Amino acid sequence: MSTQTVLPIDILIKKRDGLELSSAEIQQFVRAVVLNGEAKLGTAPQEIAAAEKITDAQIAAFLMAAFERGFTREELAHLTNAMRYSGETFHAAPLKSFTVDKHSTGGVGDKSSLLIAPTLAAAGLQGTPSISVPMISGRSLGHTGGTLDKLETIPGFDTQLSLARMTEVLLECHAAMVGQTPRLVPADRILYAMRDHTGTVESPYLITASIMSKKLAEDLNALVLDVKVGSGAFMPSYEQSKFLAELMVSTGELAGARTVAVLTTMDEPLGRFSGNWVEVWECVEILKGKRHALSADLIELSNVLSGWMLYLAGKAATPEAGALLADELMTSGAAYEAWLKLVAAHGGDVTVFAEPASFHKPKATRVLRAEQRGYLAGMDCKEVGWAVQRLGAGRAKPGDPVSAHAGIESHAKLGTFLEEGDPIFTLFAEEEALLEAPFAMLKATVTLSNEAPTVQPLIREIVRQ
Amino acid sequence: MSTQTVLPIDILIKKRDGLELSSAEIQQFVRAVVLNGEAKLGTAPQEIAAAEKITDAQIAAFLMAAFERGFTREELAHLTNAMRYSGETFHAAPLKSFTVDKHSTGGVGDKSSLLIAPTLAAAGLQGTPSISVPMISGRSLGHTGGTLDKLETIPGFDTQLSLARMTEVLLECHAAMVGQTPRLVPADRILYAMRDHTGTVESPYLITASIMSKKLAEDLNALVLDVKVGSGAFMPSYEQSKFLAELMVSTGELAGARTVAVLTTMDEPLGRFSGNWVEVWECVEILKGKRHALSADLIELSNVLSGWMLYLAGKAATPEAGALLADELMTSGAAYEAWLKLVAAHGGDVTVFAEPASFHKPKATRVLRAEQRGYLAGMDCKEVGWAVQRLGAGRAKPGDPVSAHAGIESHAKLGTFLEEGDPIFTLFAEEEALLEAPFAMLKATVTLSNEAPTVQPLIREIVRQ
């Protein structure tokens, strides 16, 4: 018999029936998705072969079948790799360096990238074995903040570098902090928009492929994942966060990158500030050696993640030794030096770091205070994140501007005993009216208690192969 | 809190998660589907409310979620009813009659509708309790034949009646045999095209909603379903056919129509001929009282189905008594009288029935003969159906013309002992070249054996509530 052409519909029917797809089938599907996207932009070839012709409806049907059926670990690695190579990728070879990055599933006040990138860069600048951090980050999404939005509050800081310029910055600074270029992992952009539209966002498999395809497009030797658990995490339960961590670790390892996931608690905002400039401010103070008591959890998290990165890169004998080295690089000022170099290479004005507090210019502030004595017992951290975004730090839809100065300051951590009238949060916004709803949200979500609450440790579990 | 508008995406997410949808949610989804279809044709209102705005991708995602998750019996009845009322429907009130119809899931050589409609019409013409058969049929699909294609081989026979004209024909003849009007059950047309395109055809739930929405749009008091099992059936296993039968019976009963399903064997073509005119010819001979030995299974099937219809309509005390009555109506000539009246009412030329054999004008014929002695032991009846369609009786794609005279004659039933050279099938086509592939297909699929095969009985099981 003649050989039958496998069509995209055959591939989606196979997934519908829970059969395992081959690497070739998954690659064919992803090529078809990208060609469909290019056809809409008018940039596709005139003639698309039947094997690579797909419609939005077929993509949606595939995504729903994938949502319901999941993937084997091998299929997931194939999907991730097909997406990773769907457009241009970063090429690390010119760096002659061990490439390592971190990724967080998203939190509130989680600015650890701003500490980890300069810390690792400082280690990289100190010579063999060479380390580089080709960090491609995202923007504020949902209730979580975005590294790019924070960096862009530094006057002149350009996150939209070409891959060629990114290479130059990495050769000079051993770290670069950029946004996704338009041609990087186009399959993810298309599939994410489709998932958002068809109720297929919350699949751990599709989340893994989305995250890992973008991270692996950085041409990494190693990747450390910060997978959040708790009320501020995207995943609703510890088990689901752990399952996501396992999928990401398996996918990274199958794609040839050493991958470790750290499950960390996100039950309250991390560190002292949540927002955009206020988070840069907090990090600059730490890098200058001024450690505020409320930044302790942030510093611990950064050191643990940096420690794993330094260990995987061969700079430390153990992750614990790596964490100590990371702390040393911060206290010695080496990380701050690397930070200044990095910001300057991105075109950023480092003079604002001289007095970061004075650069903070919210036009309206309000303080939420304890209405009675008691322990700060709990909050829905996701709700706190939404309050921060609604203050102006995040966006209602992609492309909206964000406020540099909106955000909150945390005055107490969970488990702290408060007297009546003690401040809990200070809110910052561009105008008085913007304070109303977030203030009410924060007031409603914070609970005080006569009994000391059980507070989860920050570092919960390590997932690795 | 303010009430949240339920959007189509919320409904599809509910189905994705296996939650039960309410009648209101299902109606909202179906309305959105129809509005989406009208928007493409430019016939939708200018402003569609957000609650009824849906995209092809969202419809596809819903269908895949429905494929994977299924429906409860109640949800399925809600979906079927929402589709049934998505456009115009037939109104039986003016008939002052018990409306009853039959539907087959599709077979090869299954022309029982051409016997059952006049038989029931004959019973209806004989007075109280009055019966009418508002039969809305389909065309050849896949490997199966279509009643409309068969009827249209009668010169002048018009199957495309308006519902008003259909009512007139029913008042006069107590049966009408028509095609779906463009405005009848538009939701099914849209959803079927989408299912065909997104790999979601083979869901027993979606098949049930598709079949039953169209049948119930006939405003039926009762419905008898012929659900095929065996190698020529759409469903691959007995269990799946039975499950489909159960879903259809439950849906019909919940929608207020007495519904019975008969599981019948489809392991070989039914009766003597398979095609278009040749099937009309076979029925005309039977209605005239000339019963060919090879039509015995067809007559048995028609009598059983008619028997159930007469029983449900109150014309017979038992289904068995109904089958005897049906046989009498055929042997007495009453059914033939009703047939002539029915055909004439549809504009058909009844003079061709005088010598139906002489109206058969295939330009090319070929006989497949037994190459050795042995029992006719088996065939893939689906493959036989495809051979019939490829001879010209069916279409490669919707809208293609079909040949009136293409088809096959069966010379022996399964279990018959054949001598070397005995004919098995005669093939008919419009030209010699069209015989080649179907001849090879039939030759390859027929098996002869030294041992008598086990032949399944025609009537397998009754499914009712």
CATH classification at residue B442? 3.90.1170.30
Give, in order, the Cα–Cα distances in Å from A373 to each of A413, A417, A419, B36.
Answer: 15, 8, 4, 58
Contacts of B199 in chain A (CB under 8 A): 9, 12-13, 16, 58, 61, 65
CA–CA distance, A380 with A396 (Å, rounded to integer): 20
Q: Do residues A194 and A213 make contact, with C-beta atoms less than 8 angstroms apart?
A: no
Q: What is the dihedral of CA A449, A450, A454, A457, to 10 degrees?
A: 80
Strand arrangement of the beta sheet that strand B364-369 belongs to: B273-275, B407-410, B423-429, B364-369
Which are the catalytic amino acids of A?
Answer: 103, 188, 195, 210, 214
- Domain assignment of residue A389, yes or no: yes
Contact B67 A198 (CB under 8 A): no
ipTM: 0.89
Residues A316-320: what's their mean pLDDT?
98
Question: What is the residue-averaged pLDDT of chain A?
Answer: 96
- Number of domains present in the structure of chain A: 3
Contact B64 A68 (CB under 8 A): yes
CA–CA distance, B118 with A113 (Å, rounded to integer): 80
Same domain, A158 and A294: yes
CA–CA distance, B274 with B280 (Å, rounded to integer): 10
The count of CB pairs under 8 A between chains A and B is 82
Write out residues 58-97 of B within 8 Å (CB-CB) of A.
58-61, 63-65, 67-69
CB atoms inside a 10 Å sphere around CB B293: 7
Candidates A198, A201, A203, A441: best to mutate against B (most CBs of B within 10 A) is A198
Across the interface, of A57, A68, A69, the residue whose CB is closest to B60 is: A57
Give me the pLDDT at residue A1, please.
37
Distance from CA of A412 to the nearest CA of B (A): 30
User: Is residue A217 pLDDT above 80, yes or no?
Assistant: yes
Residues A282-310: what's their mean pLDDT?
98
Q: Which residues pair with B418 in a beta bridge?
A: B374
Distance from CA of A442 to the nearest CA of B (A): 17
Contacts of B56 in chain A (CB under 8 A): 55-57, 60
The DSSP letter of residue B201 is: -
Q: What is the dihedral of CA A252, A256, A262, A267, to 10 degrees?
A: -30
Instruction: From A329, A353, A377, give the residue that closes a domain.
Output: A353
Same domain, A296 and A382: no
Q: Do residues A410 and A109 make contact, with C-beta atoms less than 8 angstroms apart?
A: yes
Contacts of B16 in chain A (CB under 8 A): 64, 67-68, 199-200
Contacts of B428 (CB under 8 A, 6+ apart): B275, B278, B360, B362, B364, B365, B391, B405, B406, B407, B408, B409
- Domain assignment of residue B349, yes or no: yes
Half-sphere exposure of A396 (CA within 13 A, CB side): 2
Give me the pLDDT at residue B2, please.
44
Candidates A64, A197, A201, A205: best to mutate against B (most CBs of B within 10 A) is A64
CB atoms inside a 10 Å sphere around CB B158: 16
Question: What is the residue-averaged pLDDT of chain B?
Answer: 96
Across the interface, of A56, A58, A65, the residue whose CB is closest to B68 is: A65
A144 shares contact with chain B (CB less than 8 Å): no
B194 shares contact with chain A (CB less than 8 Å): yes
Across the interface, of A57, A63, A65, the residue whose CB is closest to B56 is: A57
User: Among A104-113, A286-295, A396-405, B171-180, which is the least confidently predicted range?
Assistant: A396-405
- Domain assignment of residue B85, yes or no: no
pLDDT digits (tens, 9 = 90+) for A396-406: 887 889 999 99
Instruction: From B321, B353, B385, give the residue that closes a domain.
Output: B353
In B, minimum Cα distance to A11 occurs at B199
CB atoms inside a 10 Å sphere around CB B10: 14
Same domain, A344 and A378: no
- Domain assignment of residue A322, yes or no: yes
Same domain, A345 and A364: no
Same domain, A156 and A35: no
Distance from CA of A71 to the nearest CA of B (A): 15
Give me the pLDDT at residue A185, please.
95
* Catalytic residue selected from B112, B203, B210, B410: B210
Q: Which residues pair with A225 in a beta bridge?
A: A103, A261
User: Is residue A3 pLDDT above 60, yes or no?
Assistant: no
Give, in order, the Cα–Cα distances in Å from A260 to each of A110, A204, A221, A223, B396.
Answer: 19, 17, 12, 7, 54
Report the DSSP pairing between strands B407-410 and B459-463. Answer: unpaired
Distance from CA of B33 to the nearest CA of A (A): 13
In A, minimum Cα distance to B191 occurs at A57
Contacts of A9 in chain B (CB under 8 A): 197-199
User: Is residue B211 pLDDT above 70, yes or no?
Assistant: yes
The DSSP letter of residue B455 is: -
Domain holding B374, by residue range, is: 360-449
- Domain assignment of residue A460, yes or no: no
Question: What b/e sequence results for B99-122 when a residue is b if at least 16 CB atoms lie within 10 Å of its CB, and e otherwise?
Answer: bbbbbbbbbbbbbbbbbbbbbbbb
Q: Which residues pair with A48 in a beta bridge?
A: none
**Which of B120, B98, B107 has its CA nearest to residue B307?**
B120
User: Is residue B1 pLDDT above 60, yes or no?
Assistant: no
- Residue position matching structure tokens 């296993």: B237
pLDDT digits (tens, 9 = 90+) for B361-409: 999 999 999 999 999 999 999 999 999 999 999 988 878 899 999 999 9
Contact B64 A9 (CB under 8 A): no
Across the interface, of B12, B57, B200, the residue whose CB is closest to A59 is: B57
Same domain, B201 and B170: yes
Same domain, B217 and B305: yes
In A, minimum Cα distance to B8 occurs at A198
Residues A184-197: what's their mean pLDDT?
94
User: Is residue B112 pLDDT above 50, yes or no?
Assistant: yes
- Domain assignment of residue A84, yes or no: no
Give me the pLDDT at residue B66, please.
98
User: Is residue B47 pLDDT above 90, yes or no?
Assistant: no
Distance from CA of A366 to the nearest CA of B (A): 25
Same domain, A59 and A103: no
In A, minimum Cα distance to B194 occurs at A57
Instruction: From A334, A353, A372, give the residue that closes a domain.
Output: A353
Among residues of chain B, what percentage have pLDDT more than 70? Answer: 99
Reduced to 3 states (helix: H, G, I; strand: E, B; else coil), residue B375 is: strand
Distance from CA of B308 to the nearest CA of A (A): 37
Contacts of B301 (CB under 8 A, 6+ apart): B110, B112, B226, B264, B270, B458, B459
- Domain assignment of residue A380, yes or no: yes
Same domain, A238 and A338: yes
Same domain, A189 and A47: no
B188: annotated active-site residue: yes
Contacts of A240 in chain B (CB under 8 A): none
Instruction: Show the tokens assigned to B441.
Output: 């297909």
Same domain, B27 and B140: no
Distance from CA of B84 to the nearest CA of A (A): 24
Same domain, A57 and A116: no
Q: Which residues pair with A104 in a beta bridge?
A: A226
- Domain assignment of residue A75, yes or no: no
pLDDT digits (tens, 9 = 90+) for A46-72: 888 999 999 999 999 999 999 999 999
Contacts of A58 in chain B (CB under 8 A): 60, 197-199
- Dihedral pair phi/psi, residue B100, rounded to 5°: -145, 145
CATH of the domain at B337: 3.40.1030.10
Contacts of A54 in chain B (CB under 8 A): none
